[in-house]
A and B are shown apart, each in its own frame.
Chain A
């Protein structure tokens, strides 16, 4: 049993903070894409055509029923097989976005279904097309109702983003690992990384609560 040396952490603070910035970037980029992807999957899943609905349902079922880490391996190592060679960062963003798009789709679909049918009929009778109705009438209302649930998914994404360290993306977890490989102090550096994630998590929760208050419909 060796003593602790938390001062070692301060010597690597620039490495850890840079990693923290990458984690923040990864989270913001993947969250944005997963919202867009979620809306797309939700609309495809609600399509009247069976040919659209069935493959979407299969994809959603497959991605809901398997771990993110496995999906990450498929995208990073698997796409090479069909000639798509992605950087670790790109593979990480794609995997996180797809994984959480599927979760968001579930939430957004529930939000769309909950909007009164009259809204749809009224907007169609005013001459708006299906796409316009969705974009301008249904989605804005549906998204406001499900903001808290989407926010929870974003918070989960922040924490799950640590997985991309395994394929070599230099974010917070891998930055801590790099420091550990030089100092042999896993306890101190993983605690420090955990503390930084905790800070990011708290900041994100604060921001989301603001957004929720701004978008909540007055009932």
Chain B
């Protein structure tokens, strides 16, 4: 164990860890937006809405995230979409996790008792109003935990963007492994940062869950 080396390089790892946090947070925001839209479309009675949502979820859950990322970053320019690695990373990770979040959100929506939506409709609320004022407020409290699981998976999945040369934690670990020939030290250093980020995220999710989750 070369402690002096670890101290010397840890600054680069801390900066890289911040990039991992940034890209995860942005992808999370995108994933939540896409996930909500797709989940609402998927529970709709109209095939025009539910069919595209079903195709989206099936395609993005049925293929590797790495391939999706490569299509966006390397294939994008062919369809006129030229993105920086960071932006391509956010888009790829966000669309990928969005498909998993769609299922988490949809699961929470259908878990709210059917009688609730019937009662709301009987009281004269429209479909959208019933959704917004009766179903979603209850469903939101049920989806904290599954969305939390998705978010943790997203943080670990963010390592993939190192393959399109975003300088985040895994990329930095790889770079220093090749230049120092100290793989175990570099692995442990990067692992420490990942564990720190993931512990903080899990703590946040647990707190939110304890505060807001619907007890059944």
Contacts and interface: CB of A to CB of B under 8 A. Distances in A.
Interface of A: 1-2, 4, 61-62, 65-70, 73-74, 77-78, 80-81, 159-163, 165-166, 173, 180, 185-188, 190-191, 193-194, 197-198, 201-202
Contacts of A185: 78
A68 B156 contact: yes
5 closest residue pairs by CB, A with B = A78-B183, A187-B75, A67-B159, A186-B74, A162-B64
Contacts of A194: 59, 63-64, 67-68, 71
Contacts of B173: 70, 73
Contacts of A161: 64
Contacts, number: 116
B63 A201 contact: yes
A163 B62 contact: no
Contacts of B62: 197-198, 201-202
B206 to A, nearest CB: 15
B21 interface: no
Contacts of A69: 159-160, 162-163, 170
Interface of B: 59, 62-68, 70-71, 74-76, 78-80, 156-160, 162-163, 169-170, 173-174, 177-178, 181-184, 187, 190-191, 194-195, 198-199
A180 B182 CA distance: 33
Contact of A197 (B64, B79, B156, B158): B64
Nearest to A185: B78
A161 B62 CA distance: 13
Contact of B194 (A65, A73, A163, A202): A65
Given A77-B183, A173-B64, A194-B67, A65 B59 contact: no
Contact of A187 (B79, B177, B181, B194): B79
A162 B191 CA distance: 22
B27 to A, nearest CB: 14
B187 A70 contact: yes
A65 B195 contact: yes
Nearest to B194: A66
B59 A198 contact: yes
A4 B71 CA distance: 14
A169 to B, nearest CB: 13
A21 B80 CA distance: 33
B184 to A, nearest CB: 6
Contacts of A160: 64
A80 B181 CA distance: 9
Q: Is the interface of A mostly helix, strand, loop or mixed?
A: helix
A81 B190 contact: no
20 contacts: A1-B78, A61-B195, A62-B191, A65-B191, A66-B194, A66-B195, A67-B157, A68-B156, A70-B170, A70-B190, A73-B174, A74-B184, A78-B177, A81-B181, A81-B183, A173-B70, A186-B71, A187-B76, A190-B70, A198-B59
Contacts of A202: 62
Given A185-B78, A194-B67, 18 more contacts: A4-B78, A61-B195, A65-B194, A66-B191, A68-B156, A69-B170, A77-B178, A80-B183, A159-B65, A161-B64, A162-B67, A186-B75, A187-B71, A190-B70, A190-B71, A194-B64, A194-B71, A197-B64
A214 B187 CA distance: 42
Contacts of A180: 74
B16 to A, nearest CB: 12
A4 B8 CA distance: 49
Nearest to A62: B191
A165 B66 CA distance: 10
Contacts of A80: 183
Contacts of A1: 78-80
A110 to B, nearest CB: 15
A62 B198 CA distance: 11
A67 B159 CA distance: 6
A12 B85 CA distance: 28
Most buried by A among B163, B174, B182, B183: B183
